[in-house]
Amino acid sequence: MWFATGVVVMNDSIIVVGITLTYLVLVLWVGLRARGQENSSLEGYVAGGRHVGVVILFFILGAEIFSAFAFLGAPGWSYQHGAPAFYILAYLSLIPITIWAMGPRVAKLGRERGYLTQGDMIADHYQSKTLGILAGVIGVLALVPYLTIQIAGAGLLFQAATDGLIPFWLGALLAFLVVAAYVFCSGLNGIGWTNLLQGIMMIVIAWFLGLSISERLYGGVGEMFSQIQLTMPKYLTMPGATGMNWGYFSTAVLVSAFGGAMWPHLFMKFYSADSGKTLRKVSVFYPLYAYLLVPLLFIGFAGILTFSDSPLERSDTVLLRMVMDVANFSPWVIGLMLSGALAAAMSTGANLAHTAAVVLVRDVVGPTLMKSASEKAVVSATRWSVLGLSLVAYLCALANPASLVLLLLGAYGLIVQLFPMVIGALFMPQLRRASVMAGALVGSFAYLMMEFIWSSPLNWHAGTWAMLLNIGVVAACQWLIKPAFAKPSPTNR
């Protein structure tokens, strides 16, 4: 802790704000510059004309996963629980398996049949507009709260790092304006180039902070862990300090790793790849992106020792407290820390705003209110939806309704239940519409019940039970119910 006079604190905060604003201007400049000629077409605006290459796609998919959670939640987990935080490393590095297996097929179908969203594929394959609209509505319901969390994260970071010089509402507004501006103008191309910049920023800042904090306070990473081993060894192995069991740990990894690709903002990027080969290459290098989290977990572990006498009230403030109060960094470093953490929030936020707008217009409004609209009108509706939905998310962040997290949890659980439906559309044409719908309904209902009313059996992650039920119902329907008017085709008995 330092006790400086007000004047010094003020000057320090001005340096922090100066660095961060410079960074925001840089991001805005890169984002606006990326505007290509193809942005007037829907395919260009939504999927980068379906020819996004390896490097940009790698950073887009990376940025989507590493949100404000990476800088706030992940160190918070290792600080609060210890070893159970490795669940984040596990599921992030396993996500590429889904990309490897599913991505090239999704990209190929998208190219052949003009799909741009998940709803497109489901509606077309199962010949049901209702299913497509439903997938769209659930998607928007999950994406907007997620975006709100990013915007609120940006506001909190600004307020904390500048000692209140930039208040919450202004910090959130600045970050959201920059993001909305370049997504509005440049579409996926803007997201791609800014995510490249923001990704590099995040990696450099994360490693710098993780290594220098353990070096400054304990003389190195190894030294730090031996001290934890001496005083609080239970943090270093499972079940950790809070007693998380293997059942929950393992099922949470499985649901997040394999259900995660059902998130519309991830799934839709498969369409933007220039080839299936590109997607494979991206998934090969993807586990390396997960190494970004390693130094951030170090910071949480450092916090275990530092705050052993007076535990933090909120574990997700551990990184901010370490950087600002404990490690005694100069305001320049604090400014860079803020920029790096904002990069994480903004790069994810840009993807979320873009995807939510596309899903809203293409899956929900398109088949209902804008049936015969021209492509130009659809593109412009999508752009304005980016602004509109960002504004909704910003207002939600200001109001901070407690139901937000519940909405996110609920909608996310429902999205994961689309899994058998998507697998059917991609690989198993013999799955019938009635079967996958029954499965998704039972799975979704079971998930909501376990998440909000009962507790989940054996303490497993509720999504796992719901998925098992879902698959069970699909299999049962396939066996039991013979289609009344089955067309004689080789795939449909």
Residues at the interface with another protein (CB under 8 A): 83, 86, 89-90, 93-94, 96-97, 100, 104, 108, 220-223, 225-226, 229, 233, 236-238, 246-247, 249-250, 253-254, 257, 275-277, 280-281, 283-285, 287-288, 290-291, 294, 297
Q: Any idea how long the chain is?
A: 493
The distance of closest approach from Cβ of residue 270 to another protein in the complex, given in angstroms and rounded to an integer, is: 14
What is the Cα–Cα distance from 434 to 410, expressed in whole angstroms?
A: 23
- Residue pointed to by tokens 């790069």: 347
Give Cα separations from 439 to 132, 183, 428 (angstroms): 16, 36, 15
CA angle 17, 208, 60 (to 5 degrees): 80
Q: Which distant-in-sequence residues (6+ apart) come within 8 Å of 216 by Cβ?
A: 327, 328
CB of 55 to another protein, least distance (A): 16
Which CB sits closer to another protein, 89 or 409? 89
Nearer to another protein, 7 or 230 (CB): 230
Q: 18 vs 220, which CB is nearer to another protein?
A: 220
- Min separation Cβ 251 and another protein, Å: 8
Least Å distance, CB 17 to another protein, is: 36
Structure tokens, 479: 């066996």
Q: Give φ, ψ of 52 to 5 degrees.
A: -85, 130
**End-to-end Cα, the chain, rounded Å:** 73
Token pair belonging to 22: 């410079």
d(CA 158, CA 199): 19
Q: How far is the CB of 440 from another protein (least distance, A)?
A: 24
| Burial bucket for residue 47 (CB in 10 Å: 0-12, 13-18, 19+) | buried
Q: At closest approach, how far in Å is the CB of 221 from another protein?
A: 5
Shortest approach of another protein to residue 347 CB, angstroms?
Answer: 22
CA pair distance 135, 141, nearest whole angstrom? 10
Beta carbon of residue 41, minimum distance to another protein (angstroms, whole number): 24
| C-beta of 290 vs 338, nearer to another protein | 290
Other CB atoms within 10 Å distance of the CB of residue 92: 25
In the complex, the smallest distance separating the C-beta of residue 80 from another protein, rounded to whole angstroms, is 16
Between 83 and 185, whose beta carbon lies closer to another protein? 83
Residue pair 285/99 in contact (Cβ under 8 Å)? The answer is no
Q: Is 187 left (phi over 0), alpha (psi -120 to 50) or beta?
A: left
Peptide bond between residue 167 and the one before it cis (omega within 30 degrees of 0):
no
Is the Cβ of residue 107 or residue 166 nearer to another protein in the bound state? 107
- Between 285 and 445, name the residue whose CB sits nearer to another protein: 285
Nearer to another protein, 123 or 213 (CB): 213
**74 vs 221, which CB is nearer to another protein?**
221
Q: CA of 45: how far to CAs of 337, 351, 358, in Å?
A: 32, 12, 9
